[in-house]
Amino acid sequence: MTKHKLQRFEDLKTFDRVFQYPRELLHEFPPLQGKWNSVVFKRDAPIVVELGCGRGEYTIGLHKNDPSKNYIGIDIKGARLWRGAKTSHDENLTHVAFIRTAIEFIYQFFETGELSEIWITFPDPQSGLPREKRRLTHPNFLHMYQKLLKKDGLLHLKTDNIPFYEYTVEMLAGFGGEIQISTADLYNNPPEGFDLDIQTTYEKIFLKEGKQISFLSYRFS
Protein backbone atom coordinates (compact mmCIF):
# COMPACT_ATOMS: atom_id res chain seq x y z
CA MET A 1 0.00 0.00 0.00
CA THR A 2 1.36 3.43 -0.94
CA LYS A 3 2.16 6.12 1.60
CA HIS A 4 -0.57 8.24 -0.01
CA LYS A 5 -3.23 5.60 0.69
CA LEU A 6 -1.95 4.97 4.20
CA GLN A 7 -2.30 8.66 4.98
CA ARG A 8 -5.87 8.64 3.72
CA PHE A 9 -6.72 5.72 5.96
CA GLU A 10 -5.23 7.60 8.90
CA ASP A 11 -7.26 10.68 7.96
CA LEU A 12 -10.48 8.66 7.93
CA LYS A 13 -9.95 7.81 11.60
CA THR A 14 -10.12 11.51 12.47
CA PHE A 15 -13.18 12.50 10.41
CA ASP A 16 -16.56 12.97 12.03
CA ARG A 17 -19.35 10.53 11.10
CA VAL A 18 -17.08 8.01 9.35
CA PHE A 19 -17.55 4.37 10.39
CA GLN A 20 -15.00 1.81 9.20
CA TYR A 21 -16.18 -1.78 9.60
CA PRO A 22 -14.91 -4.15 6.90
CA ARG A 23 -15.59 -7.85 7.37
CA GLU A 24 -12.94 -8.40 10.05
CA LEU A 25 -14.31 -5.58 12.23
CA LEU A 26 -18.06 -6.13 11.88
CA HIS A 27 -18.27 -7.61 15.36
CA GLU A 28 -17.06 -4.27 16.78
CA PHE A 29 -19.76 -2.13 15.16
CA PRO A 30 -21.67 -0.17 17.84
CA PRO A 31 -25.43 -0.79 18.15
CA LEU A 32 -26.64 1.97 15.83
CA GLN A 33 -29.45 0.04 14.13
CA GLY A 34 -32.52 2.22 14.43
CA LYS A 35 -30.49 5.00 16.07
CA TRP A 36 -28.80 6.78 13.17
CA ASN A 37 -31.08 9.79 13.45
CA SER A 38 -30.91 10.10 17.23
CA VAL A 39 -27.22 9.24 17.78
CA VAL A 40 -25.39 10.26 14.58
CA PHE A 41 -27.47 12.94 12.86
CA LYS A 42 -29.28 14.17 15.97
CA ARG A 43 -32.48 14.98 14.13
CA ASP A 44 -35.46 13.07 12.81
CA ALA A 45 -35.29 13.06 9.00
CA PRO A 46 -35.54 10.55 6.13
CA ILE A 47 -32.33 8.54 5.68
CA VAL A 48 -30.95 8.20 2.15
CA VAL A 49 -28.16 5.69 1.45
CA GLU A 50 -25.86 5.54 -1.58
CA LEU A 51 -24.34 2.10 -2.20
CA GLY A 52 -20.92 1.94 -3.82
CA CYS A 53 -20.52 5.69 -3.28
CA GLY A 54 -16.89 5.79 -4.46
CA ARG A 55 -15.58 9.31 -3.87
CA GLY A 56 -18.87 10.40 -2.38
CA GLU A 57 -19.71 13.07 -4.96
CA TYR A 58 -23.26 11.85 -5.37
CA THR A 59 -23.88 11.58 -1.63
CA ILE A 60 -22.59 15.13 -1.13
CA GLY A 61 -24.53 16.37 -4.17
CA LEU A 62 -27.79 14.86 -2.96
CA HIS A 63 -27.30 16.53 0.41
CA LYS A 64 -26.64 19.94 -1.11
CA ASN A 65 -29.65 19.53 -3.39
CA ASP A 66 -31.96 18.62 -0.49
CA PRO A 67 -30.45 19.21 2.98
CA SER A 68 -33.71 18.27 4.70
CA LYS A 69 -32.69 14.59 4.61
CA ASN A 70 -29.85 12.60 6.23
CA TYR A 71 -27.37 10.89 3.90
CA ILE A 72 -25.02 7.91 4.23
CA GLY A 73 -22.49 6.88 1.57
CA ILE A 74 -21.25 3.28 1.69
CA ASP A 75 -18.17 1.82 -0.01
CA ILE A 76 -15.50 -0.73 0.83
CA LYS A 77 -12.68 1.30 -0.76
CA GLY A 78 -11.39 3.60 1.96
CA ALA A 79 -8.97 5.54 -0.25
CA ARG A 80 -11.87 6.49 -2.55
CA LEU A 81 -14.36 7.18 0.23
CA TRP A 82 -11.80 9.56 1.76
CA ARG A 83 -12.65 12.28 -0.77
CA GLY A 84 -16.31 12.55 0.19
CA ALA A 85 -15.56 12.10 3.88
CA LYS A 86 -12.98 14.91 3.77
CA THR A 87 -15.40 17.25 2.00
CA SER A 88 -18.08 16.46 4.56
CA HIS A 89 -15.62 16.99 7.42
CA ASP A 90 -14.12 20.22 6.03
CA GLU A 91 -17.54 21.72 5.26
CA ASN A 92 -19.06 20.46 8.52
CA LEU A 93 -21.92 18.66 6.78
CA THR A 94 -23.47 17.30 9.96
CA HIS A 95 -26.18 15.40 8.13
CA VAL A 96 -23.80 13.33 5.96
CA ALA A 97 -22.04 10.15 7.11
CA PHE A 98 -19.95 7.43 5.48
CA ILE A 99 -19.53 3.73 6.19
CA ARG A 100 -16.58 1.69 4.90
CA THR A 101 -17.91 -1.83 4.56
CA ALA A 102 -18.99 -4.37 1.93
CA ILE A 103 -22.51 -3.87 0.64
CA GLU A 104 -23.56 -7.45 1.41
CA PHE A 105 -23.21 -6.60 5.12
CA ILE A 106 -25.39 -3.49 5.26
CA TYR A 107 -28.21 -5.41 6.92
CA GLN A 108 -26.03 -5.35 10.05
CA PHE A 109 -25.97 -1.55 10.08
CA PHE A 110 -29.66 -0.68 9.78
CA GLU A 111 -32.94 -1.70 11.34
CA THR A 112 -35.83 -3.02 9.29
CA GLY A 113 -37.64 -0.07 7.72
CA GLU A 114 -35.02 2.49 8.77
CA LEU A 115 -34.19 3.80 5.27
CA SER A 116 -36.30 5.99 3.01
CA GLU A 117 -34.24 5.77 -0.20
CA ILE A 118 -31.38 3.74 -1.63
CA TRP A 119 -29.25 4.94 -4.54
CA ILE A 120 -27.10 2.61 -6.64
CA THR A 121 -24.83 4.67 -8.86
CA PHE A 122 -22.82 3.04 -11.66
CA PRO A 123 -22.27 -0.38 -10.08
CA ASP A 124 -20.05 -3.04 -11.57
CA PRO A 125 -22.47 -4.90 -13.90
CA GLN A 126 -20.80 -8.21 -13.00
CA SER A 127 -21.22 -9.41 -16.57
CA GLY A 128 -21.54 -13.13 -17.13
CA LEU A 129 -23.91 -15.66 -15.61
CA PRO A 130 -21.44 -17.03 -13.02
CA ARG A 131 -21.24 -13.55 -11.46
CA GLU A 132 -24.97 -12.83 -11.49
CA LYS A 133 -25.40 -13.20 -7.72
CA ARG A 134 -22.88 -10.39 -7.22
CA ARG A 135 -25.00 -7.89 -9.13
CA LEU A 136 -26.37 -5.25 -6.78
CA THR A 137 -29.84 -5.72 -8.24
CA HIS A 138 -29.86 -9.50 -8.00
CA PRO A 139 -32.99 -10.66 -6.08
CA ASN A 140 -30.84 -11.51 -3.04
CA PHE A 141 -29.86 -7.85 -2.74
CA LEU A 142 -33.32 -6.58 -3.69
CA HIS A 143 -34.89 -8.58 -0.85
CA MET A 144 -32.40 -6.98 1.55
CA TYR A 145 -33.18 -3.48 0.27
CA GLN A 146 -36.92 -4.15 0.56
CA LYS A 147 -36.45 -5.12 4.19
CA LEU A 148 -34.31 -2.10 5.07
CA LEU A 149 -36.55 0.42 3.30
CA LYS A 150 -39.69 1.87 4.83
CA LYS A 151 -42.99 0.85 3.30
CA ASP A 152 -43.16 2.65 -0.07
CA GLY A 153 -39.39 3.28 0.10
CA LEU A 154 -37.55 4.12 -3.12
CA LEU A 155 -34.69 2.39 -4.93
CA HIS A 156 -32.84 4.45 -7.56
CA LEU A 157 -30.39 3.12 -10.15
CA LYS A 158 -28.05 4.99 -12.48
CA THR A 159 -25.94 2.97 -14.92
CA ASP A 160 -24.10 3.26 -18.22
CA ASN A 161 -24.76 -0.44 -18.91
CA ILE A 162 -28.00 -1.02 -20.84
CA PRO A 163 -28.08 -4.81 -20.25
CA PHE A 164 -27.70 -4.19 -16.50
CA TYR A 165 -30.53 -1.65 -16.60
CA GLU A 166 -32.76 -4.11 -18.48
CA TYR A 167 -31.79 -6.91 -16.08
CA THR A 168 -32.81 -4.72 -13.13
CA VAL A 169 -36.19 -3.91 -14.67
CA GLU A 170 -36.76 -7.63 -15.17
CA MET A 171 -35.76 -8.52 -11.59
CA LEU A 172 -37.94 -5.81 -10.06
CA ALA A 173 -40.99 -7.15 -11.88
CA GLY A 174 -41.21 -9.93 -9.29
CA PHE A 175 -41.39 -7.64 -6.24
CA GLY A 176 -44.93 -6.28 -6.54
CA GLY A 177 -43.93 -2.64 -6.38
CA GLU A 178 -44.05 -0.01 -9.11
CA ILE A 179 -41.48 1.65 -11.34
CA GLN A 180 -41.89 5.40 -10.82
CA ILE A 181 -39.39 6.55 -13.43
CA SER A 182 -37.64 4.60 -16.17
CA THR A 183 -35.53 6.04 -18.95
CA ALA A 184 -32.85 4.29 -20.96
CA ASP A 185 -31.39 7.65 -22.00
CA LEU A 186 -31.43 10.00 -19.02
CA TYR A 187 -29.74 13.01 -20.61
CA ASN A 188 -31.88 13.03 -23.74
CA ASN A 189 -35.07 12.07 -21.92
CA PRO A 190 -34.74 13.45 -18.36
CA PRO A 191 -37.62 13.12 -15.90
CA GLU A 192 -39.23 16.42 -14.94
CA GLY A 193 -37.32 18.08 -12.09
CA PHE A 194 -34.42 15.61 -12.16
CA ASP A 195 -31.09 17.22 -11.22
CA LEU A 196 -28.67 16.31 -14.01
CA ASP A 197 -25.88 18.32 -12.40
CA ILE A 198 -25.23 15.75 -9.66
CA GLN A 199 -22.70 13.39 -11.23
CA THR A 200 -20.12 10.87 -10.09
CA THR A 201 -16.55 10.87 -11.41
CA TYR A 202 -17.35 7.84 -13.54
CA GLU A 203 -20.52 9.43 -14.88
CA LYS A 204 -18.59 12.46 -16.10
CA ILE A 205 -16.13 10.14 -17.87
CA PHE A 206 -18.94 8.12 -19.46
CA LEU A 207 -20.66 11.28 -20.71
CA LYS A 208 -17.42 12.54 -22.29
CA GLU A 209 -17.14 9.18 -24.04
CA GLY A 210 -20.65 9.65 -25.40
CA LYS A 211 -22.14 6.77 -23.42
CA GLN A 212 -25.86 6.56 -22.78
CA ILE A 213 -26.91 6.79 -19.13
CA SER A 214 -29.96 4.90 -17.89
CA PHE A 215 -31.99 5.63 -14.79
CA LEU A 216 -34.88 4.09 -12.93
CA SER A 217 -36.68 4.75 -9.69
CA TYR A 218 -38.71 1.96 -8.09
CA ARG A 219 -41.12 2.11 -5.18
CA PHE A 220 -41.37 -1.06 -3.13
CA SER A 221 -44.86 -2.00 -1.99
Q: Give the active site residues.
A: 124
DSSP letters for 150-208: EEEEEEEEEES-HHHHHHHHHHHTTSS-EEEEEES-TTTSPPTT--TT---HHHHHHHH
CA distance 187 to 152: 27
Element (H, E) at 47: strand 47-51
CA distance 31 to 38: 12
